[in-house]
Structure 1
Amino acid sequence: MKNVKTISLAILLTMSLLAAGCSSSNPENSPSDSEQGGPITITFAGSTWDTPTKDGNTIQTYLEEKYDVKIINERVTDDNFKIKIAANEIPDIFPQTPNESDMTNFARQGIIASISVDEIRKYMPTYAAEIDSVNPEAWDVALIDGKNYGIPRVWLNGVYGFVPTYNKKWLENIGYSEPPKTIEEFEDVLTKFRNNDPDGNGIKDTYGMTARNEVRPQYFNSIYASFGVNPYQFMVDQDGTLTWGGIAEQAKDATKLLNKWYKADLIDPEFMTDNNDIVSQKWNSQKIGYKDTFMYHHLFGLLPADQENGTEALYGKGIIGPAGKPLVMSNGALQVPLLLGKDLETNEKKRIKVLQILEDLATNDEVYLKTVFGDKDLTYEMSGEVPTIKPPYDTQEKKNEYGFGGFYNPLVERATSTWKFHFTPEKQAFRDEVNEGNEVITDVLGPTVLEAKGKYSVTLNALQDEFYTKAITSQEDIDKLFEDFKNKWLKSGGQEIIDEANKVYQARQENKK
């Protein structure tokens, strides 16, 4: 039934676009406003959750008066957005939810605007510079068929990785005053967490670690990172081309070590079925003394729970293994760009105005605070540099009535200059302390549509999941198991995916010249 709905929607979308022909993407967005000297009309659909309940709200009025524009609110949900697109209700500023497949389809169907990087840099200079400072590869994500689509966005937390976290008391009980630095020291810690009664209850009922089974890129991620790989990410091979981490020699070697530890009873045997909730339960009940599936902001939020459970966490650096660096796995900062409606491609005056507004929304303190938090002393109060929403505006209903949040500002927490408004001094100090010295390993491509991946990913993911679980617990020769898996993976569509990934990667490299 789901497939039927998908096909029907695709047909509806195609027919609607054909019927629209060469007409404006939204009649209310025609160039005539600016040509006649009136305010430029801009259609906002910046969020599917912070949706204003009334037109002419406080934030809308503020933006209209500040920038001499007329704003039309296009209220969309995750469910109806594509239906509205099919009905030719195309906003100028898209919501933040389209994924990389949506972006590619929208570009090839003529729904979104192509826009030059030079023009973005000209009219959004501060934001562009901040994108460069976080990850310049963010500009690559929007490259489709040789053209740039949308404004690059980054997830600022993505520059950080998952933090190796230890039970401090357990470490002290086995003779460690600080977290292990090397993979050899880590193995010693695992051994003693299992065998040396670190909780002092006189029972052999503790393990060093388990795994997060339901999110495979996080599966024993700190161990794989110490070998310089994540099995579920693209990486640059020694010859400069891309390969899939799951078939890299580094992944095989890391798996052999995990297999050794499993045979030595150092890994919780329930790792095959544990999820992150169970990881937390075992940590809180002090059944495991190590976890690697939380980033700094998760860990900061868990401080009260640790205190309540009587557990003091000690945060380590990336475990130094064969890669020779303190590497930690990261989800990465790269995201799907902010997409703009097709009308902006040909309407230069509106396009420039939108870019100028977006620059301020992202990087101007006054505009950012107003659109994201409302009005000082009415909807929020300041504690240092951090706004705190005041009652009754701390409810979604009141927030939507006023209009602040992500609808008029689709670049919330996407620029480094305004990120300060989301950090207490304590949280910022915690972030800097636990991440200092770590280097991240992340997917080289980021969010990218690969047609071959669409064809083969279900089969290949199942094949890979099965192999890595089996290999860690196997009594068989891991080298042979790995070669058999690798060959089957490549023949089952993996080689086609790697070939396509390399074409995309090379095109991005050429585009930088």
Structure 2
Amino acid sequence: MKENKRKLLPTMVLAGVMSLTAITTACGNNNNAPDNANASTNANASNAPANNAAAENATNELKKYDPPITISYLRPWGPDVTFKEGEDADNNVHTKWALDKFGIQLKNQWIAPSTNNAFETKLRLSLATNEKMPDIISYRGDFTLVRELIDSGRFIDAGELFDKYASQTWKDAMNEDPTVWYPYMEDGKRVGIPILDYAYNGDPVMWIREDWMQKLGLPAPKTLADLEKVMDAFTNQDPDGNGKKDTYGLAIGFKNWLNTWMSDAGWIFGMYGTQPNQWNKAADGTLEYGSVSAGSKQALATLQSWMSKGYLPTEAGLYDETKASEDFTAGKAGIVVGPHWMPAWPLEDVKKNNKDAQYKAYALPAGPDGKVGRHGTTNSNGVVLINAEMEHPEAFFEYQNYLFDQFANPPAGGEFENGMAEGYDWVMVDGEVKKDAASTGGFAPEKYTLTFDGARIPGLNMQVLAKLANGEEATTPLEKKNKLSATQPLLEAAKIVLEQKDAVMPQMFTGAPTETMQTSNDILTKMEKDTFSQIIYGKASVDSFDKFVEKWKSSGGDKITQEVNDWYKSVSAGAK
């Protein structure tokens, strides 16, 4: 076979603004935003230093394979990915771009949809029958499958390749939170490369009916005591003025548990220094399960009190996240807690139901000891695995480096200024750029990329939104696009998210289920949900929490705690 040689081609100065969606699903993490939230505000922001770096990188020589090489790959194809007539997953505007730009032909080894576990089933069959693996597997979803792939031994130590070939832009983005490597480590090696996502995208703020606040003359709730005064007024002082006692304070649902992506109750536990249903870092540096910490008992006592006073819906135990939020949009509840992007969906339904309704974002209140705590949003939403037999692993980095340097935060005036591809996510009409779906057909070519969304630099999204919320001038094309697309309530909420970033309590255990988890988690989870529900509804005393903790520990919890901490020590040491 003829050896591939590389020609060095001079490049144009490349720049541009990517056309991205701001509201993003964080699949496989705490941020479970719904798909219809993905179509709103732009989500990747920019700042001057990174933008200048992109401009400098654009002047470097671009490497291109001649003759072309092929990168075979696998990734699930979701129903949100649509193609123009005559194009498909192997032949489209992006595959043509990769071939023209780099001499790289992107080729699916086979194609399977993301629905009904079709992709997972086919990939597991390929593993079981020892079929040849592709050069690259990009995946977000079933973490058990990720571990099966890593444990197969067929994928290289990608961390070494990353250190050698990744651009500084990409490395800086990854270094915003080095723990993103932890889920994909094995024996101290970074086997998988995390696919980066937007930071803080699922972190909650408090949304309150501002017209109710003004009508009742209520001040901003900065403490637990303040908040309880607001909830009492919303429950007992007829804030909607219909003469009926049919409103309440806080819209929450814990059918899917308390620490959720919307209609969240984790922040209540945060006022007492913990987060339920996740592993938190204790004062001594070890990991502890939040649901059995002392703070959870205090939070449950607070929830029990609120339920008894009518501040919460009696159906909370039956409500999922979306159903709970519907009580807020329907005008039944005055407060709901959730991400900064909720004005795009579902909060605008408030005004559909009542044209005079107003809502506003507020900071999460502090507990009795001044504590504020909220769950965090992981900076990654998937993984890239590189076949140990891949002939040109550096080719993937050249491709992805370019997207980080030129697409994730591009300077003005170049290739991606208006979007990824003209005629797909943007069109020119009478000399004016149009990006709306009615003009473009709604195609999103960044979804054709190996990493699902092109490239994302975690911290930039919130930075630019907060900048705009402060009234600062939008100087880059991306900032200007955000200014046009983001509503003022959303901008103000993003600013609050950043202002309270020190309140984040991240999920610290991101590894595969431990041995004891696999055998005991079901019974421990049921025990936890039953006990917590009984306490919240006042069917059991708050002191029953102590018996639950004892039983949890003796039924496998202590063993799981040891296993979790052993894992944490191993990945912490391996990442140094």
TM-score of the superposed pair, with normalisation by structure 1: 0.81
Question: 1:77 maps to what in 2?
Answer: 113
Contact 1:100–1:336 (CA under 8 A) maintained in structure 2:
no
1:106-152 Cα distance to aligned partner (Å, 9 max, x none): 1111233322347436423211201222x221122221222111212
Alpha-carbon spacing, 1:365–1:475, altered in 2? closer, same or farther (3 Å): closer
Alpha-carbon spacing, 1:335–1:499, altered in 2? closer, same or farther (3 Å): farther
Q: Look up the SS of the partner of 2:360 in the other structure.
A: strand
Contact 2:425–2:440 (CA under 8 A) maintained in structure 1:
yes
How many angstroms does 1:324 deviate by? 2.4
Question: 1:22 maps to what in 2?
Answer: none
Partner Cα separation in structure 2 for residue 192 and residue 222 of structure 1: 21
The amino acid that maps onto 1:225 is G
The amino acid that maps onto 2:350 is D
Partner Cα separation in structure 1 for residue 417 and residue 104 of structure 2: 16
Alpha-carbon spacing, 1:485–1:55, altered in 2? closer, same or farther (3 Å): closer
Contact 1:336–1:447 (CA under 8 A) maintained in structure 2:
no
**Aligned ranges 1:130-209 → 2 under 5 Å:** 130-133=173-176, 135-158=177-200, 160-177=202-219, 179-209=220-250
Partner Cα separation in structure 2 for residue 465 and residue 73 of structure 1: 43
How many angstroms does 1:157 deviate by? 4.5
Structure with a larger share of its residues in helix: 1
Alpha-carbon spacing, 1:416–1:285, altered in 2? closer, same or farther (3 Å): closer
Q: For 1:433, which of 495, 499, 503 is the aligned residue?
A: 495
1:359-396 Cα distance to aligned partner (Å, 9 max, x none): 1123313998769954235651489x998265675356
Contact 2:406–2:416 (CA under 8 A) maintained in structure 1:
no
Please state if 1:125 is matched with 2:168: yes
Contact 1:104–1:144 (CA under 8 A) maintained in structure 2:
no
Q: Look up the SS of the partner of 1:213 in the other structure.
A: coil
**Aligned ranges 1:77-476 → 2 under 5 Å:** 77-78=113-114, 79-80=118-119, 81-82=122-123, 83-86=125-128, 88-117=131-160, 119-120=162-163, 122-133=165-176, 135-158=177-200, 160-177=202-219, 179-216=220-257, 217-218=259-260, 220-292=265-337, 294-310=338-354, 311-322=357-368, 324-344=370-390, 347=391, 350-365=392-407, 374-376=420-422, 379-381=425-427, 388=435, 394=441, 405-412=447-454, 414-416=456-458, 424-425=482-483, 426-427=485-486, 429-438=491-500, 439-446=503-510, 448-474=512-538, 476=540
Please state if 1:42 is matched with 2:75: no
Alpha-carbon spacing, 1:154–1:56, altered in 2? closer, same or farther (3 Å): closer
TM-score of the superposed pair, with normalisation by structure 2: 0.73
Contact 1:47–1:410 (CA under 8 A) maintained in structure 2:
no
How many angstroms does 1:31 deviate by? 11
Alpha-carbon spacing, 1:242–1:31, altered in 2? closer, same or farther (3 Å): farther
Partner Cα separation in structure 2 for residue 501 and residue 214 of structure 1: 26
Structure 1 residues without counterparts, runs of 5 or longer:
1-29
Question: 2:13 maps to what in 1?
Answer: none
Instruction: Report the more deviating stretch, 124-133 or 425-434.
Output: 425-434
Partner Cα separation in structure 2 for residue 323 and residue 89 of structure 1: 58
Alpha-carbon spacing, 1:47–1:406, altered in 2? closer, same or farther (3 Å): farther
1:383-438 Cα distance to aligned partner (Å, 9 max, x none): 9x998265675356xx6xxx652344435353249868596214273453342422
Alpha-carbon spacing, 1:56–1:281, altered in 2? closer, same or farther (3 Å): closer
1:194-217 Cα distance to aligned partner (Å, 9 max, x none): 222222222222110242223312
Q: Look up the SS of the partner of 2:530 in the other structure.
A: helix
Instruction: Report the more deviating stretch, 308-317 or 436-445.
Output: 436-445
How many angstroms does 1:64 deviate by? 1.5
Alpha-carbon spacing, 1:238–1:416, altered in 2? closer, same or farther (3 Å): closer
Structure 2 residues without counterparts, runs of 5 or longer:
7-64, 465-477
